[in-house]
């Protein structure tokens, strides 16, 4: 049974893909995939209940997909071509399809554990990727291979531990880092009372009240982070900024952060 939050994010994703019917169809196929839903739910169980981390399940994966779509659309508005477009090997919609697939599967490796979970995510995601693309493009091998390859690069690069080369993978990396509001930490804070290593990630995420992704001024994409206290700076400086600095999309991003009621601090 999907949560209200999942259904809401799905509706926003579907709306943002209105101009891209093929990608919108792909997203709906993923939303309706019962096996993928079970895998996302199990990954979240391992992350929260077994390991004491924050949300890495169906809400998070949908949120990351939504963030990636929003950023890619903004870059498109500024006339910036994706890697597939520049290399004349695919279309903008192909790039979008890859990011939706990657967003919806990038943390499946949490079903196994935290260590090297991005590599495990690739292993677990490939059957889902193949099934979805075979149904969507049964007669277009080139398109299936192109989107699959880009999806895998985006998944395996989302922890900034591996060098990535495409703009699309760089967008997924930042989109993942942007999902850090207090909702991700709510359940772990409720069910885990004893202090332990790694708590700073939960408490810092709980201090983040809002992350906005907008059209920028000096650069195309502006990310605004609002927090209730300065403990949220850990999440920005150690998680989000690390990912942005490793991203191929860095040159297109402005990053601002502020405690509520204070002047924003510009990082990029």
SS (H, E, C) 215-247: ECCCCCEEEEEEECCCCHHHHHHHHHHHHHHCC
- For residue 193, pLDDT over 60 is answered with no
% of residues, the chain, pLDDT over 90: 85
**CATH classification of the domain holding 37:** 1.10.1300
- For residue 192, pLDDT over 60 is answered with no
Q: Quick one: pLDDT at residue 37?
A: 98
- For residue 188, pLDDT over 80 is answered with no
Domain range for 124 is 4-266
Please check whether residue 124 is in contact with residue 39, taking contact to mean a CB–CB distance below 8 angstroms: yes
Tokens of 138: 């049964």
Strands (E), 137-252: 208-215, 221-227
What is the tally of structural domains in the chain?
Answer: 1
- For residue 187, pLDDT over 50 is answered with no
What's the pLDDT tens digit per position in 115-158?
999 999 999 999 999 999 999 999 999 999 999 999 999 999 99
Q: Quick one: pLDDT at residue 203?
A: 73
Residue whose pair of structure tokens reads 């809400």 in the numeric block: 59
């Amino acid at each position: 049974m999907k949560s209200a939050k999942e259904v809401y994010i799905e509706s926003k994703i579907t709306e943002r893909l209105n101009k891209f019917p093929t990608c919108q169809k792909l997203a709906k196929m993923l939303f309706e995939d019962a096996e993928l839903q079970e895998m996302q739910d199990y990954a979240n169980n391992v992350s929260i209940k077994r390991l004491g981390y924050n949300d890495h399940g169906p809400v998070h994966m949908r949120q990351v997909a939504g963030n990636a779509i929003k950023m890619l659309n903004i870059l498109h508005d500024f006339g910036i071509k994706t890697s597939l477009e520049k290399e004349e090997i695919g279309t903008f919609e192909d790039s979008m399809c890859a990011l939706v697939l990657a967003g919806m599967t990038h943390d499946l490796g949490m079903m196994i554990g935290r260590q090297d979970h991005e590599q495990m995510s690739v292993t677990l995601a490939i059957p889902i990727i193949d099934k979805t693309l075979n149904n969507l493009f049964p007669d277009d091998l080139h398109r299936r291979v192109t989107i699959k390859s880009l999806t895998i690069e985006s998944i395996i690069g989302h922890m900034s531990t591996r060098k990535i080369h495409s703009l699309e993978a760089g967008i997924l990396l930042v989109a993942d880092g942007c999902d850090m509001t207090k909702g991700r930490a709510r359940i772990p804070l409720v069910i885990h009372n004893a202090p332990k290593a790694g708590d700073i990630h939960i408490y810092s995420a709980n201090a983040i009240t809002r992350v906005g992704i907008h059209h920028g001024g000096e650069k195309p994409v502006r990310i605004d982070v609002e927090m209730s206290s300065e403990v949220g700076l850990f999440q920005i400086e150690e998680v989000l900024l690390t990912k942005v600095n490793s991203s191929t999309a860095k040159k297109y991003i402005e990053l601002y952060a502020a405690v509520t009621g204070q002047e924003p601090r510009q990082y990029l």
